[in-house]
Amino acid sequence: MKRILIVGCPGAGKSTVAKQLAEMTGLPLIHLDRHYWLPGWKRPDSAAWHMTVEKLVAQPAWIMDGNYSGTLEPRLRSADTLIHLDYPTWLCVWRVIRRTARGWGHNRDNELAPECRERFDWQFLRFVIRYRREQRDRDLARMTEFSGEIHRFTSPTALKSFVRTIKLTASSRL
């Protein structure tokens, strides 16, 4: 496990588990949100974004979290391990609302560009609500071609167990 890709609906906890795994393994952490969003919640040019992703995936080792289905295929081609957080919609919606309320007006440290303060965004919330119905099957179809190790979790409890196993493995190597 040298290139770990973590995907799933917004609010599933991709960034949280990415941080945990980076701390345990020492692998470099790449939050795609940090590279995608420009200051003030500005979107990058599509070609520039694709070039950024190509540079990021070319690195020899990483843990990368983020959705961005338009760049899923090059990330899957470069990864050796896929962690898919396939949680129910209600849980992801709850987590997004909780994250927004807790962080209101503040930047998420190292996860977003400067001047991207937490805010309420109806369009984003609508995407989260519709993700399972409108986007999930397309993402799953892209994932079927993945040739590496796949870990799909449908509950936070199962993910916690997996993370504990990784922690034990990482600590036994020290």
Percent of the chain with pLDDT over 90: 83
- Residues 107-126, mean pLDDT to the nearest whole number: 88
Question: What pTM, to 2 d.p., does this model score?
Answer: 0.93
Query: Averaged over 5-26, what is the pLDDT?
Result: 96
- pLDDT at residue 171 in the model: 72
State pLDDT tens for residues 41-64.
999 999 999 999 999 999 999 999
Structure confidence at residue 174 (pLDDT)? 54
Instruction: Give residue 111's pLDDT.
Output: 85
For 28, list phi and psi in degrees, rounded to 5: -65, 140
- Would you state the pLDDT for residue 45? 95
Q: Is 109's pLDDT higher than 80? A: no
CA dist 31 and 157 (Å) reads 23
The three-state DSSP-derived secondary structure of the chain is CCEEEEEECCCCCHHHHHHHHHHHHCCCEEEHHHHHCECCCECCCHHHHHHHHHHHHCCCCEEEECCCHHHHHHHHHHCCEEEEECCCHHHHHHHHHHHHHHHECCECCCCCCCCCEECCCHHHHHHHHHHHHHCHHHHHHHHCCCCCEEEEECCHHHHHHHHHHHHHHHHHCC
Q: Higher confidence at residue 118 or residue 114?
A: 118
Q: Which amino acid is at 171?
A: S
Q: Is residue 151 pLDDT above 70, yes or no? A: yes
The reported pLDDT for the residue numbered 169 is 81
CATH tag for 3-166 (out of 3.40.50.620, 3.30.1360.120, 3.40.50.150, 3.40.50.300): 3.40.50.300
Residue in the block written with tokens 């980076």:
22
Quickly tell me which residue has 């994250």 as its tokens.
99
**Cβ-count burial 82-114 (b if 16+ within 10 Å, e if not):** bbbbbbebebbbebbeebbeebeeeeeeebbbe
pLDDT for res 106: 87
* Number of neighbours of residue 171 by Cβ within 10 angstroms: 9
- pLDDT value of residue 105: 82
